[in-house]
Amino acid sequence: MITAWSGDTSRLRATVDFVKAQDTAALLPLLLPGLDGPELRTLVERCDFSHAALLVFPGDEAALDAMLRDCGLTADAPPRPSVVVRERLAVRHKRGAAELDVGLLRPKVRCLDGARRTVEVFTLTVPPGSDLGTIATHERERQHEAHVAFEVDVPDPLVLRGLCATFAQYGATPDGGGYNPHENGTVFYFATAAEAKAGYRRVELYVPGDHRDVLTAHLDEHRGRQPADTLLRLLTGAWTTQALAAFAQLEVADAMDRERGVGVAELAQDVGAFAPNLATLLRYLTMLGVVSEDRDGFRLTDLGGLLRADTEGSMRPLALMYGGPFYESFAGLGHTVRTGQVAFEQRFGENHFDHFARDPALAELFDRSMAAGSRMFDPLPAHPVLTSAAEGATVVDIAGGNGELLGRILSAHPRLRGILLERPHTVETARRLLGAAGHSARCGFRAGDFADVPAGGDVYVLSRVLHDWDDDRCREILRHCARAMPDTADLLVVERVLPADGSASLATAWDLHMMCNVGGRERRADHYARLFADAGLTLVGRAPLPLDGSVLHVRGTGPDTGSWS
């Protein structure tokens, strides 16, 4: 028979094992589904996974010591009072706080990554026969106080507000908190979204010092959060898009520094802006973590640095595109849903490919915005189809844009050759960029349409192409590929694939975007498999890529070669 004490020991041992196995970068996306890229890097820079916590109920001090020893833990000091948990228990169980002697221990553990973290052990002594036993039974079952915690490196009010805003952006909601005068620290609790995958439903941000000014707003939101409040926050998403677009249009990031703050007057003069209004914009972007403010003025964060034109992997073109033509056409989303017609075409009088091709500056912006999402491509050159390709094998990139992906493949595999098929104006851009990268001798260029897919290649690539089109056009494109491909050739299709279980994914957001602005769609893997089959091709493997992307391995004939993982 498992006693209550042994049950607490098992829970504590599981917590110790969890702390040993995790690190900040791996744990945050499990707690905040969809968190990736710049936001993840920003959080990792500003807070560290410090501990996991649980509440146990030893019968006396000796029982607590034995429990700790059984789990390989050593308490460096007697338990300190835990004001926050005591108050939460008092409210939850309608008991006087003075009745609840809640202690706090933080024994250290050495983790698999070499770091030393802690297990936060809250203790409520429950002697045999005590009327506190009902509290222990309830809390063991519900695990209200079990949580994981991150300690904030720079306890600055602006940083705290930015962290809280990012947590909220990914589904975490305020769930209380408090100031503990015994250790001069402030605690912010959040409840995670239902999609969280870490096994914990509560997250703590621990901040050294007294930050009750920021905590007040956090607690007010926790107490007063209503559906109307949530909806209002969602409705203001357009403000964020335009704030980032204006920041990019004015080239404010290029006039800022990550190392030192700069005053608003100086910035306004540099970018040609009205200083009071620029200050308002910067305060809003501070809340989003794009910039930070100190005594010297505003400073660019790593997140905001991605909006500089000269940054490797700059996302400035995406800000200009999403805040420009696509923002305008999204105003017609209701028309698209009501009629099935593409809102972009209603707004601009033609499909987006023709519209962009008619304006060289807009066409260049579109190509650069596509390249701005190139982090999706990072693992692709290591795909077995490419690493095992024979000396002199040819990679054909169909509708390959400005050559970003093909350039990465050729750089990773000097023995391979490439051919890029694109529209005439884009081919010239790709020729220039690939030439500057030193690939001219190994790369050919063909101006044309899908009907002009070069025959005789060894590996064919369709990256973010099929989602632009309806099923009939996709079948046509794939049949052109199938006719050009030798029996031994492989086709790699890069797309965002809709999850089969309805879980949160960037693919779901892009499905809405493609419907409204392009007339295309994202699809599930089984949907793609049917399209491939209709063209005489077979899906033989699938592997994940960053930014919720996938690479689908397709062949014309031959046995199933298995998936890449």
Rounded Cα gap, residues 353 and 67, in angstroms: 67
Using an 8 Å Cβ cutoff, are 521 and 496 in contact? no
Rounded Cα gap, residues 119 and 51, in angstroms: 5
H or E element, residue 398? strand 394-398
With vertex at residue 89, the alpha carbon angle to CA 85 and CA 92, rounded to the nearest 5 degrees, is 135
Rounded Cα gap, residues 113 and 20, in angstroms: 8
Using an 8 Å Cβ cutoff, are 463 and 396 in contact? no
Give the amino acid at 129: G
Q: Which tokens sit at 219?
A: 């607690």
3-state DSSP: the chain helix, strand, coil percent, rounded to 5? 50, 20, 35
Give the amino acid at 29: P
Other beta carbons within 10 angstroms of residue 537's beta carbon come to 21
Question: Which residue in 385, 371, 384 sits closest to 316, CA to CA?
Answer: 371
Using an 8 Å Cβ cutoff, are 5 and 58 in contact? yes
Residue with tokens 């940083």: 159
Using an 8 Å Cβ cutoff, are 405 and 463 in contact? yes
Other beta carbons within 10 angstroms of residue 198's beta carbon come to 18
Question: Which residue in 531, 555, 540 sits closest to 476, CA to CA?
Answer: 531
With vertex at residue 308, the alpha carbon angle to CA 302 and CA 33, rounded to the nearest 5 degrees, is 45
What residues have CB less than 8 Å from 549, skipping those under 6 apart? 376, 494, 495, 496
Query: Which residue out of 147, 383, 467, 513 is catalytically annotated?
Result: 467
What residues have CB less than 8 Å from 155, skipping those under 6 apart? 207, 208, 209, 211
467 is catalytic: yes
Provide the CB-side half-sphere exposure for 25 (13 A, CA): 6
Other beta carbons within 10 angstroms of residue 78's beta carbon come to 8
Question: Which residue in 471, 558, 553 sits closest to 519, CA to CA?
Answer: 471
Active site residues: 467
